[in-house]
Amino acid sequence: MNTALGHRGPDDNGIWTDPAGIALAHRRLSILDTTAAGHQPWSDPSGDHLVYNGEIYNFRELAAELTAQHGVQFASGTDTEVLMAALRTWGTAALDRFNGMFAFAWWRAESEELLLARDRMGIKPVYFAEVPGGVAFASEIRALLASEAVQRKLNRTALVDYLRYGTVHAPATLVEGVELLPAGHWLRLQDAEVELHRWWHAAEAIAEVEPWQGRDHAVEVVRDTLRDAVQLRMRSDVPLGAFLSGGIDSSAVVGLMQEVSERPVSTFSVAFNEGEFDESPWSRLVAKRFGTDHHEIRLTAEHFLEQVPAALEAMDHPSGDGPNTFVVSAATKAAGITVALSGLGGDELFAGYPVFQRSRQLMEYRWLTSWPLGLRKTAGRTYARLKGTVTARKQADILSSDYFDLEHTYPLSRQIFLEEDLRAIWKGGQIPGNRVFQWVSKEIEPNTAGFFLPFYSKVSVAELGTYLQHTLLRDTDQMSMAHALEVRVPFLDHRLIAAALAVPDAWKSPTTPKKLLTDALGDLLPEEVTQRKKMGFVLPWAEWLRGPLRPLCEQGLGVLSRLDVLDSNELNRLWNAFLAGDERVNHTRIWMLVTLGDWMDRHGIA
């Protein structure tokens, strides 16, 4: 199991076992106190032991408090020692004091109990499974499979979740019996007793935000909190840099990094020769403005394409996205950087995605429910047939329903295979219900903790808990750690999340891209960046799947065709329609199927 995680921590490793029936193993990526003092599993004189992945950014402040108020003396400069001391002093209440990203296992010798815990946003993962004689856990599924105690059996129910969204939402995974500890939760194991507890809730956190004294006050809080979040995440004893696309979020992070840094920040961007998806002019503009030590990773589409097989091999859990992060992380690590800051999370907090505006508009169209259902269905089908796009089909589905509220429209907005598609491809009996609908309905219910969420904040909660956590953060973790590169995300500082969610819609309304955020940044960013149209990271995937990646596609689809719960004829029809250029079958659908088949084949999942 430890060897299977070698890519995550190439600097050191250790294993500790105890006759009580506990074994802990760790692979270390040395970042804070790179000496042997940071070796894990960490042992405390009390007999407690700890394995831990991530960073507690405010460890210095916590160490000072523990020394001043509790007399704790520290022998190293690592946050691991502070984490253990905080847990022994405050118990699980210590989690509320941590500002960081983490997943850890704490063995308490006296009570013989194990505590597994995960950070508020689930930036760092921990998977677990009941196995003969106990429980196994790890940062990646591949380590659990390496134990040979977990059956390599496909979770059919989770497969439907994957078909809908190109990912699987916690606690389920695609491996039967393997679960992902949900973000902001801890799990306590003692003998036969198991206790699962949610220790942080995004919507409830806003109740702790001080009442606003006007929009200017909110702007000030956003600026100060983001600046402090960036400064905390620059604590490192190894070379540190930042991803820079030239968009608002990454540029904000870089600008604030340079504000608090005494030397030029190292920045990294991917540049393509193909002009239609080359963002290098903007990243160069930002790098020049802040005087960073800029590294432009210039690639051809063909060079990127060559790295796709390695990116697939790095996938611990299949994803329709991810190779982008794999390529950028590889080049950043090759330049000698071990820690990189990212602008991930800005869109989700400050209404940067089109889903915010679409959701608002749909709420304003609720009067359409007064039309006869038959008329709405006919209008929807006609519109979908004329447009011939997935978006038009989603709009038709909304017209055919009786609900235009966020709980019903948001789950559809991120869906890849629609319910009609699932009925065509699924042979496994009744199709399981949409877990995203169930989760969103519960998370955004009115008056959570006595606080009514603004509408845009409801969309943010939905985005943070679904697409961000289970696609973007999962991809970022597995693709960066494949190169032993740690990625830190200042926008996901819990204080900033709470503040952004507490802001009224009128102050956040996107008259220009992410208006509240850009106002908070003042004149930090050039106007060319704040006013530029959102571009994204676009590559000629459709062309590749029909061309050089075609054998890989046919192999992956072939694996799925042998599944008893999927209709092989429908899979063949989708593939042939895609090859023929049918716009109703886009490359996203095909690629998520291919990566699933490739992952199953690679790990022997059946």
210 and 194, same structural domain?
no
- Domain holding 27, by residue range, is 3-200
Cα separation, 576 vs 582, in Å, equals 9
Domain end residue (candidates: 530, 564, 591)? 530
Residue 420 CB neighbours (<10 A):
10
189 and 109, same structural domain?
yes
pTM of this structure: 0.93
49 and 131, same structural domain?
yes
The CA-atom distances, in angstroms, between 255 and each of 89, 217, 220, 265, 479 are: 38, 21, 17, 9, 25
Query: Residue 536 domain-assigned?
Result: no
Q: What is the CATH number of the domain that holds 115?
A: 3.60.20.10
Number of helices followed by number of strands (H, E) in the chain: 28, 16
Cα separation, 174 vs 162, in Å, equals 8
The total number of residues written for the chain in this structure: 606
Query: Residue 34 domain-assigned?
Result: yes
Domain end residue (candidates: 509, 530, 551)? 530
Domain end residue (candidates: 200, 218, 247)? 200
490 and 344, same structural domain?
yes
Query: Residue 429 domain-assigned?
Result: yes
Cα separation, 431 vs 590, in Å, equals 21
Query: Residue 22 domain-assigned?
Result: yes
Query: Residue 455 domain-assigned?
Result: no
pLDDT along the chain (606 residues), means of 10: 97 94 96 95 94 97 98 96 97 98 96 96 97 95 97 97 96 98 97 93 87 95 98 96 93 96 90 68 92 87 87 92 87 93 96 87 64 62 65 67 76 90 93 90 68 87 95 96 97 97 89 88 89 68 92 96 96 97 90 97 96
- Bond into 171 cis (ω within 30): yes
The reported pLDDT for the residue numbered 421 is 92
Helix axes 323-334, 474-481, angle to 10 degrees: 40
359 and 314, same structural domain?
no
Query: Residue 535 domain-assigned?
Result: no
7 and 149, same structural domain?
yes
325 and 371, same structural domain?
no
Query: Residue 120 domain-assigned?
Result: yes
297 and 285, same structural domain?
yes
209 and 164, same structural domain?
no
How many separate domains does the chain show? 4
The reported pLDDT for the residue numbered 368 is 59
Query: What tokens appear for 103 in the block?
Result: 């997943």
| DSSP reduced 3-state for 336 | coil
Query: Residue 453 domain-assigned?
Result: no
Q: What is the CATH number of the domain that holds 342?
A: 3.40.50.620
Query: What tokens appear for 380 in the block?
Result: 């929807």
Tokens 């943070």 found at: 464
The reported pLDDT for the residue numbered 599 is 97
Residue 513: phi and psi, rounded to 5, are -55, 125
361 and 344, same structural domain?
no
344 and 489, same structural domain?
yes
**Dihedral sign (CA 409, 413, 417, 421):** positive
| DSSP reduced 3-state for 231 | helix
85 and 230, same structural domain?
no
